[in-house]
């Protein structure tokens, strides 16, 4: 299975929804697409929804860490939400949750960032 990515902007928040497998074959394309969305919009914060991501390797972690550093360097926040158990294990083992916040779902992440809650599809 390949990777499908969906980028949605809500106010000043970029929501990144990933589905499928994020491995070394997909990492560079995702990094480029993600960076282009960060540059072209008035984005402060990022929410990464990993509910439908079934696999991630160290290349995917590198993409996540790189975007986290970009967002943090501007004094902003990146939040991970709705993570699948398989991918959560990798994040736990890598120590990513020591620097990146994990919340249960996208709506809660939006509320934490001050964006009005509404039905997300």
- Is 39 contained in some domain? yes
- Residue 120 within a domain: no
The domain in which residue 92 lies consists of 3-110
| 118 in a structural domain | no
The pTM of this model reads 0.91
Q: Is residue 68 a part of any domain in this protein?
A: yes
Assigned domain for 49 exists: yes
Per-residue pLDDT of the chain (121 residues; tens, 9 = 90+): 699 999 999 999 999 999 999 999 999 999 999 999 998 868 999 999 999 999 999 999 999 999 999 999 989 999 999 999 989 999 999 999 999 999 999 999 999 999 865 544 4
Residue 86 lies in a domain: yes
Instruction: Determine the pLDDT at residue 1.
Output: 64
Q: What is the DSSP track for the chain?
A: --EEEEEEEETTEEEEEEEEEE-HHHHHHHHHHHHHHHHHTT--EEEEEEEEEEEE-HHHHHHHHHHHHHHHHTT--EEEES--HHHHHHHHHHTGGGTSEEES-HHHHHHHTTPPP----
Number of domains present in the structure of the chain: 1
Task: Indicate which CATH number applies to the domain containing 60.
Answer: 3.30.750.24
């Amino acid at each position: 299975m390949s990777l499908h990515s969906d980028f949605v902007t809500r106010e000043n928040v970029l929501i990144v929804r990933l589905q499928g497998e994020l491995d070394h074959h997909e990492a560079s394309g995702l990094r480029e697409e993600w960076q282009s969305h960060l540059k072209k919009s008035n984005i402060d914060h990022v929410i990464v929804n990993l509910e439908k991501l079934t696999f991630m390797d160290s290349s995917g972690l590198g993409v996540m860490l790189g975007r986290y550093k970009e967002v943090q360097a501007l004094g902003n926040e990146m939040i991970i939400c709705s993570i699948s158990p398989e991918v959560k294990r990798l994040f736990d083992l890598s120590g990513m949750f020591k620097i990146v916040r994990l919340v249960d779902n996208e709506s809660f992440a939006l509320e934490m960032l001050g964006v009005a809650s509404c039905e997300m599809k």
